[in-house]
Amino acid sequence: ERAVVRCVPSEPKLSLQFVLPDGSAKHMQRDQTEPLGRALARIATNAAKGRVKKGKKARAEGEAEEAAALPAVRLFSRDGQAVDAEVPNAAAWQEGAVLHIGEARYRVERNPPALTELRLPRSLLAGFPVCPKVSAEFAAPQHCIFRWFREERAPGGGWVEEEAAAGRVFTPGNALVGLRLKLRCTPGDGARRYGPPREVESSGPVEAGPGACTFDARHLYTGRACGTGRLRAVSYNILADAYAQTEFSRTVLYPYCAPYALELDYRQNLLKKELAGYSADLLCLQEVDKAAFTDSLAPALDAFGLEGLFKIKEKQHEGLATFFRRDKFSLLSRHDITFSEALLADPVHAVLRDKLAAYPVVQEKVLQRSSVLQVSVFQSAADPSRKICVANTHLYWHPKGGNIRLIQIAIALSHIKHIACDLYPSIPIIFCGDFNSTPSSGTYSFISSGSVAEDHKDWVSNGEEERCNMPLSHPFKLLSACGEPAYTNYVGGFQGCLDYIFIDKTALEVEQVIPLPSHQEVTTHEALPSVSHPSDHIALICDLKWK
Average pLDDT over residues 142-169: 89
Nearest residue to 200 via CA among 146, 157, 251: 146
Dist. CA 237–CA 283, nearest whole Å: 11
Asked if residue 119 and residue 99 are part of one domain, the reply reads: no
Average pLDDT over residues 180-205: 95
For the cut 70, the answer to whether the pLDDT of residue 66 exceeds it is no
Mean of per-residue pLDDT scores for the chain: 94
Asked if residue 404 and residue 330 are part of one domain, the reply reads: yes
Asked if residue 164 and residue 270 are part of one domain, the reply reads: no
Q: For residue 67, what pLDDT band results from cuts at 50, 70 and 90?
A: very low
Asked if residue 149 and residue 288 are part of one domain, the reply reads: no
Dist. CA 19–CA 359, nearest whole Å: 72
The distance between the two most distant Cα atoms of the chain, rounded to a whole number of Å, is 104
Q: Could you tell me which residues come within 8 angstroms of residue 490 by beta carbon, excluding any fewer than 6 positions away?
A: 522, 523, 527, 528, 536, 538
For the cut 60, the answer to whether the pLDDT of residue 278 exceeds it is yes
Cβ contacts of 254-257, under 8 Å, gap ≥ 24: 254/491, 254/492, 254/527, 254/529, 254/536, 255/492, 256/492, 256/525, 256/526, 256/527, 256/530, 257/525, 257/527, 257/529, 257/530, 257/531
pLDDT in tens, 476-510: 999 999 999 999 999 999 999 999 999 999 999 99
Q: What is the CATH number of the domain that holds 90?
A: 3.10.20
> Does residue 207 lie within any of the structural domains?
no
Asked if residue 361 and residue 248 are part of one domain, the reply reads: yes
At 254, give phi and psi (nearest 5°). -125, 55
Domain that holds residue 353: 215-546
> Does residue 90 lie within any of the structural domains?
yes
Asked if residue 517 and residue 480 are part of one domain, the reply reads: yes
What pLDDT shows up at residue 76?
Answer: 98
pLDDT in tens, 410-458: 999 999 999 999 999 999 999 999 999 999 999 999 999 999 999 999 9
For the cut 60, the answer to whether the pLDDT of residue 60 exceeds it is no
What pLDDT shows up at residue 142?
Answer: 86
> Does residue 59 lie within any of the structural domains?
no
Query: To the nearest whole percent, how much of the chain has pLDDT over 70?
Result: 97
Asked if residue 306 and residue 237 are part of one domain, the reply reads: yes
Q: How many domains does the chain have?
A: 3
Nearest residue to 19 via CA among 53, 39, 56, 46: 46
Handedness of CA 26, 105, 138, 203 (dihedral sign): negative
> Does residue 63 lie within any of the structural domains?
no
Asked if residue 475 and residue 526 are part of one domain, the reply reads: yes
pLDDT in tens, 380-394: 999 999 999 999 999
> Which of 175, 201, 227 lies at the terminal end of a domain, its last residue?
201
Q: Do 478 and 503 form a contact (C-beta atoms < 8 A)?
A: yes
DSSP 75-115: EE-TTSPBPPTTSBHHHHS-TT-EEEETTEEEEEEES--EE
Q: Do 191 and 140 form a contact (C-beta atoms < 8 A)?
A: no
Dist. CA 502–CA 54, nearest whole Å: 75
> Does residue 442 lie within any of the structural domains?
yes
Asked if residue 234 and residue 159 are part of one domain, the reply reads: no
- What length is written for the chain? 547
Nearest residue to 535 via CA among 279, 248, 243: 243
Which one is predicted more confidently, 165 or 379?
Answer: 379
Dist. CA 337–CA 541, nearest whole Å: 25
Average pLDDT over residues 532-547: 98
pTM confidence score? 0.86
In the beta sheet, which residues pair with residue 25? 19
Dist. CA 509–CA 352, nearest whole Å: 32
Q: Do 288 and 318 form a contact (C-beta atoms < 8 A)?
A: yes
Q: Do 319 and 311 form a contact (C-beta atoms < 8 A)?
A: yes
Asked if residue 505 and residue 473 are part of one domain, the reply reads: yes
Q: For residue 54, what pLDDT band results from cuts at 50, 70 and 90?
A: low
Q: What is the CATH number of the domain that holds 119?
A: 2.60.40.2700
Q: 402-417 vs 442-449: helix axis angle to the nearest 10?
A: 20
pLDDT in tens, 138-153: 998 889 999 999 999 8
For the cut 90, the answer to whether the pLDDT of residue 22 exceeds it is no
For the cut 70, the answer to whether the pLDDT of residue 52 exceeds it is no
Active site residues: 434
At 534, give phi and psi (nearest 5°). -80, -5
What pLDDT shows up at residue 51?
Answer: 67
Asked if residue 330 and residue 368 are part of one domain, the reply reads: yes
> Does residue 323 lie within any of the structural domains?
yes
Query: Helices (DSSP H) in 158-263: which residue ranges?
Result: 216-219, 241-244, 247-248
Dist. CA 411–CA 389, nearest whole Å: 16
Q: For residue 49, what pLDDT band results from cuts at 50, 70 and 90?
A: confident
Average pLDDT over residues 266-286: 98
Q: Do 363 and 467 form a contact (C-beta atoms < 8 A)?
A: no
Q: Could you tell me which residues come within 8 angstroms of residue 164 by beta carbon, excluding any fewer than 6 positions away?
A: none
Asked if residue 23 and residue 139 are part of one domain, the reply reads: no
